[in-house]
Structure 1
Amino acid sequence: MLTLAILGFLYDRPLHGYQLKSRITGLTGHIRPVSDGALYPAITRLEKAGLLHRRTEPGSGAAPRQVLELTGAGRAELLRRLAEPEPVEISDQIRFFTVAAFLDLLPDPARQAAVLRRRLAFLQEPSSFFYDGDGAPVTAENEPNPFRRGMLLVARASGEAERAWLTDTITALEAARP
């Protein structure tokens, strides 16, 4: 997720490390905050892989600033990752939202729709946070604990909203195909 977010935010414009961190934090929020200890080693790995490069610019104070910019290989890697997300990037909501945040950069509506169809297929599989003694999923209707029932109701409503959005967006993307 972090690599995808770095590549995605640098796709449009070069950024300083602090600007990049702010954008990633805005995307993932309090759910998965990014620390300097995770961000800067990831940037170094991407630089060593030839996906981005750093250049030094004068800072507003005395210290120079490191500006991060994608290379052609970085752009290609971002587009590959958007077209072919890993299974966890489909099943994990925050990771999927990271993919979705940059999916418009993928120029082919058919490939965009294919990614959304994968997420929709995942969401159509039965699931629950809780299971009874026989391994059957617990539903809001048969959950006596009011707090767990609340979790199940919220998850159901969120899932219904996401499935409706995915269906509508897939339909629109398929209608836009030449």
Structure 2
Amino acid sequence: MARKAASLELAVLGLLHESPLHGYELRKRLNLLLGWGRLLSYGSLYHALKRLLRAGLINEVTATTPGVSRRQRIVYQITAAGQQYFGEQITDTGPAAWEDDSFNMRFAFFSRTDTEVRLRILEGRLSRLQERLDRARHSGRGGSGDDRYLSELRRHSIESVEREVTWLTDLINAERATDRSLDGPPGAPATEDTITSAAPAADATT
């Protein structure tokens, strides 16, 4: 739960880093960022905004909406402290950046990072998924007595992770190719096995 809250706060800071926004527009953009599989409630957003306000990472100003009613709205904007914090968090390449919610948010703001940061996060994520595949495949051995639907669920989970592994491998190769085109002669393309062996060591407790 704490990790999800931190990821949401990071997303809020990332969007406010681009421009000040009022709550409705911020929620709309966050929902686009989160994708179709998850809709953000107003309650979750305003809890995140309150935490960021208390921490001094954002502030709020009252703006008048143009038009006949000239209704006043609260607009949120990032502070200098918020910009510094966002910059530190978005370039953090530790194990927390590889987890499901954290990775998705960080990936959404990859344009704010350099190639080295992107590669370390992508390689770490790939390493984490390879661990999941190994556990899932191992747990499926000798499971001939499994319920049919349990077996189908396991198969679906494995195939989903395999698709993401392929996607990550392609992204890593693209990042490396771009880096080589800027810095030197090309080398051999990466494979899932070579990327995994080069990835930072994953946290064994996860």
**TM-score bin, normalised by smaller chain:** 0.7 to 0.9
Query: What is the TM-score with the length of structure 2 in the denominator?
Result: 0.70
Q: In structure 2, do the counterparts of structure 1 residues 14 and 171 end up closer, same or farther at CA, with 3 Å as the change threshold?
A: same
Work out the percentage of aligned pairs sharing the same amino acid. Answer: 31
Q: Deviations over 1:7-54 (max 9, x none)?
A: 122222221111111222333357554333322132122123222221
* Post-superposition offset of 1:111: 0.8
Query: What is the TM-score with the length of structure 1 in the denominator?
Result: 0.80
Report if aligned partners of 2:129, 2:165 keep a CA contact under 8 Å in 1.
yes
- Say if 2:165 is the partner of 1:163: yes
* Post-superposition offset of 1:119: 0.4
Three-state SS of the structure 2 residue aligned to 1:127 is helix
Q: 2:71 aligns with which of 63, 68, 76?
A: 63
Report if aligned partners of 2:97, 2:103 keep a CA contact under 8 Å in 1.
yes
* Post-superposition offset of 1:176: 2.3
Counterpart position of 1:46: 52
> Letter of the aligned partner of 1:121 in structure 2?
S
Q: 1:77 aligns with which of 77, 85, 89?
A: 85
Q: Deviations over 1:123-151 (max 9, x none)?
A: 111233xx9xxxx6126974732322222
Report if aligned partners of 2:58, 2:79 keep a CA contact under 8 Å in 1.
yes
Aligned residues: 170
Counterpart position of 1:118: 124
User: Mean Cα displacement is larger for which, 140-149 or 49-58?
Assistant: 140-149
Q: In structure 2, do the counterparts of structure 1 residues 144 and 15 end up closer, same or farther at CA, with 3 Å as the change threshold?
A: same
* Post-superposition offset of 1:83: 1.7
C-alpha distance in 2 between matches for 1:84 and 1:140: 40
Q: In structure 2, do the counterparts of structure 1 residues 79 and 174 end up closer, same or farther at CA, with 3 Å as the change threshold?
A: farther
- Uncovered stretches (5+) of structure 1, i.e. residues with no partner: none
Counterpart position of 2:191: none
Report if aligned partners of 2:59, 2:79 keep a CA contact under 8 Å in 1.
yes
* Higher Rg: 2
Q: In structure 2, do the counterparts of structure 1 residues 67 and 148 end up closer, same or farther at CA, with 3 Å as the change threshold?
A: same
- Uncovered stretches (5+) of structure 2, i.e. residues with no partner: 1-6, 184-206
Report if aligned partners of 2:97, 2:121 keep a CA contact under 8 Å in 1.
no
Q: Deviations over 1:88-142 (max 9, x none)?
A: 4423x23321221112221x111111111110110111233xx9xxxx6126974
> Letter of the aligned partner of 2:88 in structure 1?
R
C-alpha distance in 1 between matches for 2:139 and 2:160: 18
Root mean square deviation, CA, Å: 2.7
C-alpha distance in 2 between matches for 1:105 and 1:142: 48
- Say if 2:106 is the partner of 1:99: yes
Counterpart position of 1:154: 156
